[in-house]
Amino acid sequence: MLPYALLVMASDIAGAAFILPLIVLAAAGMSGAPSLARAWLLAVGSALGATLLAKLVVIPCGHLVPGLTLRSPSGHAAGATAVYLGLAVLVWRSRAMLALRALFVALMAGLCALVFVSRVALRAHTIEEVVLGAAIGAIAPLVLLRVPRSMPERPWRWLVLVPAILLLLAASELAYPVRYSPEGILTRFAKQWATDLGACGFGG
């Protein structure tokens, strides 16, 4: 089992406090290719939006799925898959050197794996919830696979700095932990709509 501090750090790099600024920074790094930046924001936004909708349904209704323990799809798994694997897809399809692209993809895949393991090990989610979150987050890399290959090289030189940025953010997180999670608000809202509509065993 990984040390607790490493599990927390691995989990935090997929939290809203990391993911949302990284999305903006990545888009800024693609400023030389506006169409690429738009595709990035659309793909990641779609994945995160789908995750939000899934949470609003699964939180009150997940207990109705037989044989599975579903309380809420993992937003961390969804965010990691959407952002890190999304970046991996874009860099892999760029004109950068093959070795650099392969290293970047491997690093992003490793980060995702760490996030998945951490969410289960920290008992924040079940395996089913992590798998569901990752499946929803996969919307982003799948959309980005359709981005044309002919992209300017300049954005990729910036994107390969993402691992260094993540390491710096992780180090600062250990020293000054800042954690924000909308899960509590989502849970209240999800149960409220189910109660109002008398759905999934609520309000009956």
pLDDT of residue 92 exceeding 70: yes
C-beta neighbour count of 52 within 10 angstroms: 15
Q: Is residue 200 part of a domain?
A: no
Q: Is residue 192 part of a domain?
A: no
Q: Is residue 180 part of a domain?
A: yes
Q: Is residue 204 part of a domain?
A: no
pLDDT in tens, 6-42: 888 888 889 887 888 889 888 888 877 888 889 999 9
Q: How many domains does the chain have?
A: 1
What residue numbers bound the domain in which 51 lies? 4-185
pLDDT in tens, 103-150: 889 999 999 999 999 999 999 999 999 999 999 999 999 999 988 765
| C-beta separation of 40 from 26 below 8 A | yes
C-beta neighbour count of 194 within 10 angstroms: 19
Q: Is residue 90 part of a domain?
A: yes
Distance CA 35, CA 62 (A): 38
Q: Is residue 41 part of a domain?
A: yes
Distance CA 101, CA 149 (A): 14
Query: Mean per-residue pLDDT for 148-166?
Result: 61
156 falls in which pLDDT band (50, 70, 90)?
Answer: low
Q: Is residue 193 part of a domain?
A: no
Residue 94 CA, chain-centre distance (Å), reads: 22
What is the chain's length? 204
Q: Is residue 163 part of a domain?
A: yes
pLDDT of residue 175 exceeding 70: no
Which pLDDT score, from 0 to 100, does residue 196 have?
Answer: 80
